[in-house]
Structure 1
Amino acid sequence: MFIEKIISEGLAHNSYIVGDGGEAFVIDPRRDVDSYIKIADSNCCRIMYVFETHRNEDYLTGSLELEALTGCKIIHSSRLDFGYGAPASEGDMFDIGDMRLQVLETPGHSPESLSFMLYLPSQKEFPWMVFTGDALFYGNAGRTDLLGEEKKFEFSSQLYDSLYGKLLPLGDHVIVYPAHGAGSACGGNIADLPVSTIGYERATNPMLNLPKDKFIEIKIKETLPLPPYFARMADDNKRGPSPPDQKRIEPLDAPVFERSMTGCILVDTRSPHSFASGHIPGSYNIWLEGLPKFAGWILEYGKDILLVTERQEDVETARRYLLRVGFDRIRGYLCEGIEDWQNRGMPLEKSGIDTVLVFMRN
């Protein structure tokens, strides 16, 4: 038996692939799905199911892509009318290889949120681990404001009932696997832990040691940044995202790059220091590791993108990061980098750099 967590950098998104007895399932896959297929193949497993904990808001799901490539079945909550997949409700069970997965409805972060309890082949009476989606995080609980401030009381009450009435009673031994980790915009102050259990969360998670009225009060007062692209991701994930565009990203020398700039968005993925020292006028600087988190805040959907990168190998990384948040139209990249542009005497702008000095007092 195996379980692997796949972390999407920048988004702090966790997805999982679990296999046993020649069959496997995936929880909350991201849009670039090759990693799941490679892991399944290396373990001689067929991917039989994809389970979505909820209609995710911060990235595009890869469920339909996995279905097309492997023939697996997609399972969603019955509380929301998805445009694809099959519905599941409280208590539904799925046997995959020698494993059993059981559905637990845990609304609050969203009305359709599900958790999934996994049972060991030899102990199908006692849950071994639970995939909690955005209901329970390490050190915190999911946000309850995504459908508007007027819903926060209702959803906070539901989340409390899900946490205290369904997840905590599973038992202190149960391993917890959430859909997001530290740094995610889907929750505040998530603990930076590699793994946790119900017992550890019960002892250390401040949101799991409160009366209901205090829990709701904290959640109603909670203010977290709401990225503008979240609504688009949620709508696309409900309908079913289109397959990612895998067309070749064209290498362009500086003159061709300049002629291609009209109507395009220029994204410079170099470090802020390098960008400040010289960049193409009109370009946006989103450093490479920041692309998945900040592209949706800054860039306009529906326009072609041209890339300026530090290294040629960064182009594929940038493509993956942008695909995960729905930016498919990557038209080309500056093949020989900013040096080619500069050496040809083409226009550059500089931003300047300010240094922050910190004085420590004994």
Structure 2
Amino acid sequence: MKVEQIYTGCLAQGAYYIESAGEVAIIDPLREVGPYIARAEKAGAKIKYIFETHFHADFVSGHLDLSRKTGAPIVYGPTATTEFDSIVAVDGQEFKLGNVTIKALHTPGHTLESTVYLLKNEEGKDYAIFTGDTLFLGDVGRPDLAQKAGQITAEDLAGMLYDSLMNKIMPLADEVIVYPAHGAGSACGKNMMKETTDTLGNQKKTNYALNQPDKTTFIKEVTDGLLPPPAYFPLNAALNKNGYESFDEVLNHGLKPLSSSELEDLADATNALILDTRANTEFYKSFIPQSINIGLNGDFAPWVGALIEDVKQPIILVTEPGKEEDAVTRLSRVGFDNILGHLKGGIQSWLAEGKETDSVNRIDAEEFSRKIKIGESKVIDVRKETEYSAEHVQDAFNKPLAYINEWIKDIDPKEHFYLHCAGGYRSMIAASILQARGYRNFTEIAGGFGAIAKTSVPKTDFICQSKLLKV
């Protein structure tokens, strides 16, 4: 028996490859399915099942393409309904895979169809659970994504989740391995550990949600402090449930090379968003006017989903030469399939033709320390609330990047302000959005708070961020 976790840091997502006696099961595959097929072929094995723990909201699964290419059926848990052929397992149903068995445990709570898959080894002993978003390391899945107005509330779902955990998961042996669908950084939970696998016994000891005295307290704790989910979540869930375009077609469209003139004409004709995926250290110097910078070298796909929101938005890419396929692939993972092409030759081809460019007013932290006047200068910190609470520039305002579409309307276009994040990635995203919408009354700080903290700029006292998280 072979169990392999295939972890994707950008999405903080774990997919799983299970192999036994020439048969393979894939759990929660990513959109690009070639690597799974290649793994199985290299081992001389056949993909027999594709298991989905639930209708994912934070990414588009590769279940449909993988099924089309291998003939393997897609398995969901009880109550699931799909627009494509699938096996809807009954609670407790077992699936033979070579010499091992995979058992479906219906665990509603995160969503109504959420299901944990229990892997039994060759001796029939419980070996591991693939928990999807039901149980994370250090946390449990948020119970507010499947709520329906007038029908079911987050509290109702949290109550279901409590029953699922207590009745289906807690009775399992301590040595059972926990393989969750997500780790730290995912918006599907609020307090996940950085580790990506653990024993159930350790989770029974350390996971706050598994150590509540009763159901009422559990409901209160898991529903408290939940931030609004990204706007693209329901759109991704619908794609996973109803179907989507083949990834091969999406990639083919996105890899269409465009000259500078073709890019201009296409952007005008389609109202496409020009998405520049270069590092912020390069973008600020020179870029196509009105383009938005979200760098590939960070949490690219989640930020695209959180800020662009509409998965049908036409997009034209500007990337470092050779990075086009990576950008298209990562966009497709969160459902952004309407990619019309990319600038052939990258920004250098645009510059070579003498096309108009824009730039961001960026200064380093030392210059910022010389110019800022505490009590007079306005500073906007776009980090998360917990980062800001831990330590920040004295008198700075906290305006998290995730909510820029709400707070941007409150910006006075005549009042100058300084803009920063932790290291420059998020503040450059904010800067590009601000300039695309006509705001130019700011100065962005290179290196963010990490660089500012090394200067003489007055700051609040440091508080460890872990103490600010609810545990």
- Give the TM-score, by structure 1 length: 0.94
- 2:338 equivalent among 326, 329, 335: 329
Corresponding position of 2:281: 273
> What CA deviation, in whole Å up to 9, does each residue of 1:39-71 have, x standing for no partner?
111111100001111111111121111111111
Shift of residue 9, structure 1, vs aligned partner: 3.4
Judged with a 3 Å threshold, the aligned counterparts in structure 2 of structure 1 residues 255 and 240 are, in CA distance, closer, same or farther, namely closer
Q: Distance in 1 between matches of 2:313 and 2:128?
A: 43
Q: Say which structure is richer in strand.
A: 1
1:261 to 249, 262, 267: 267
Percent of residue pairs identical: 36
Aligned to 1:304, which of 291, 314, 317? 314
Q: 1:243 & 1:251 partners in 2: Cα distance?
A: 20
Q: Work out the CA distance in 2 between the residues paired with 1:9 and 1:292.
A: 11
Deviates more, 1:178-187 or 1:213-222: 213-222
Deviation readout 1:73-107 (Å, 9 max, x if unpaired): 11112312222301102110000111101111111
Q: Which amino acid aligns with 1:239?
A: N
Equivalent residue letter for 1:28: D
Unmatched runs of 5 consecutive residues or more in structure 2: 363-443, 456-460, 463-471
Once the two structures are TM-superposed, the CA of residue 138 in structure 1 deviates from its matched residue by 0.6
Distance between the aligned counterparts of 2:339 and 2:102, measured in 1? Answer: 39
Per-residue CA distance 1:87-137 (angstroms, 9 max, x = gap)? 10211000011110111111110111100110111x21x210000110100
Larger radius of gyration: 2
Q: Say whether the 8 Å CA contact 2:110–2:146 is kept in structure 1.
A: no
Give the alignment partner of residue 247 of structure 1, picking from 244, 252, 257.
Answer: 252
Among 236, 240, 263, the residue aligned to 2:239? 236
Contact kept? 1:185, 1:225, Cα under 8 Å: no
Deviation at 1:240, TM superposition (A): 2.5
Partner residue, 2:128:
129
State the distance in 2 between where 1:12 and 1:267 align.
22
Between the aligned partners of 2:81 and 2:256, the Cα distance in structure 1 is 39
Distance in 2 between the 1:75 and 1:250 partners? 35
For the residues of structure 1 that align with 2:26 and 2:293, how far apart are their CA atoms? 34
Which of structure 1's runs of 4+ aligned residues deviate more than 4 A?
A: 359-362
Deviation, 1:164, is: 2.0
The answer to whether the 8 Å contact 1:152/1:219 transfers is no
Structure-1 residue corresponding to 2:160:
158
CA pair 305-93 structure 1, distance change in 2 beyond 3 A:
same
TM-score (norm 2): 0.73
Letter aligned with residue 116 of structure 2: S
Question: In structure 2, what residue type is equivalent to 1:164?
Answer: M
Contact 2:276–2:319, Cα closer than 8 Å, also in 1: yes
User: Is the Cα–Cα contact under 8 Å of residues 76 and 82 in structure 1 kept in the other structure?
Assistant: no
- 1:263-296 superposed Cα distances (whole Å, 9 cap, x missing partner): 2221000122322222111111111143311222
Q: How many residues are paired up?
A: 359
Q: Paired residue for 2:360, among 343, 348, 351? A: 351
Gaps of 5+ in 1: none
Contact 1:279 1:349 in 2 (8 A): yes
The aligned residue for residue 89 of structure 1 is: 90
Deviates more, 1:34-43 or 1:143-152: 143-152
The two structures, once aligned, show a CA RMSD in angstroms of 1.8
Q: Cα deviation per residue 1:316-342 (whole Å; 9 max; x = unaligned)?
A: 100110111122232221222212222
Q: Which has the higher contact order (CA 8 A, sep 6+)?
A: 1
